[in-house]
Amino acid sequence: MAEPLLAVSGLRAGYGDVQVLWGVDFAVHPGEIACLVGSNGAGKTTLLRALSGLLPPSEGSIRFAGGELAGASPERVLGAGIAHVPEGRRLFAAMSVRDNLLMGAYLRRDGAAALARDLERIYEVFPILAERRAQDAGTLSGGEQQMCAVARGLMSAPRLLLIDELSLGLAPAVVDQLSDALRALNREGLTLLVVEQDVATALELARDCHVMDSGRITRSAPSEALRNDPAIREAYLGVI
């Protein structure tokens, strides 16, 4: 198998005296969709925050595309090619959809033509955002907001997109639409790491799935293997 795009080892992080990540080890390969699942409070959001430079790790390594990113600032991580779609979307509610998307590109220096081309591609993938481009982001539906948040992440032209809670609060039809869009982007070369509370959705979307428990990755396996695993079926899929 090819070298991993992202290789995390021994990663520890927390908030003040509260340690949350207790030595996280896992890898994401170029061109794949990987999922991170785990119960509430397991540390999934904390892990994504540590990966994107928002929370400095106390120990461990984050290798990305041949470089070391542990301790790097959010700007450096974004510049290196990792974008983060946060839990709760965090759009600029009083700004238009288009301006939200352009905010995602603030670090790019590859010129207006490249930005315009990427914006057009995003409007192809999410036609509803093209329709709503002049509308304030705060007026979008939940599903549209999630599309806008994903699209804003894409506007940094990342190699790896981290998405926290892809489907939370969204209707199944919207989740299907988002999943289809992510698959299309993945076919064009984007690598994805998706935190997903709905394990059935996660296993359907991802090639590899990582299970997080109490600040560690306790299981990493192809989705296919997890789907047929009795313990996973009982704990997460509600089938015995």
Between CA 37 and CA 50 the distance in angstroms is: 17
Which of 1, 2, 18, 239 touches ligand ATP by CB under 6 A? 18
Nearer to Mg ion, 67 or 88 (CB): 88
What is the smallest separation between the CB atom of 32 and Mg ion, expressed in angstroms?
22
Residues 20-79 binding ligand ATP (CB under 6 A) are 20, 38, 40-46
What is the smallest separation between the CB atom of 11 and ligand ATP, expressed in angstroms?
13
Nearer to ligand ATP, 41 or 172 (CB): 41
What is the smallest separation between the CB atom of 23 and ligand ATP, expressed in angstroms?
15
Q: What ranges in 1-141 are assigned the alpha helix state H?
A: 44-51, 74-80, 97-103, 112-125, 127-131
Residues 179-218 binding ligand ATP (CB under 6 A) are 197
For the chain, where are the E strands, in sequence order? 6-15, 18-28, 33-38, 59-64, 67-68, 82-85, 160-164, 191-195, 208-213, 216-222
Contacts of 204 by beta carbon, 8 Å cutoff, 6+ apart: 179, 223
Is 191 a binding residue for Mg ion by CB under 5 A? The answer is: no
Is 45 a binding residue for Mg ion by CB under 5 A? The answer is: yes
Instruction: Select from 13-21, 102-110, 114-122, 221-229 the region that touches ligand ATP (CB under 6 A).
Output: 13-21
What is the smallest separation between the CB atom of 46 and Mg ion, expressed in angstroms?
8
56 binds, among Mg ion, ligand ATP, none (CB under 5 to 8 A by kind): none
> Are the beta carbons of 200 and 181 closer than 8 angstroms?
no
User: E strand or H helix at 146, and its extent?
Assistant: helix 142-154
Q: How, if at all, do strands 208-213 and 33-38 pair? A: parallel
What is the smallest separation between the CB atom of 177 and ligand ATP, expressed in angstroms?
23
> Are the beta carbons of 85 and 163 closer than 8 angstroms?
yes
Binding footprint of ligand ATP on the chain (CB under 6 A): 15, 18, 20, 38, 40-46, 197
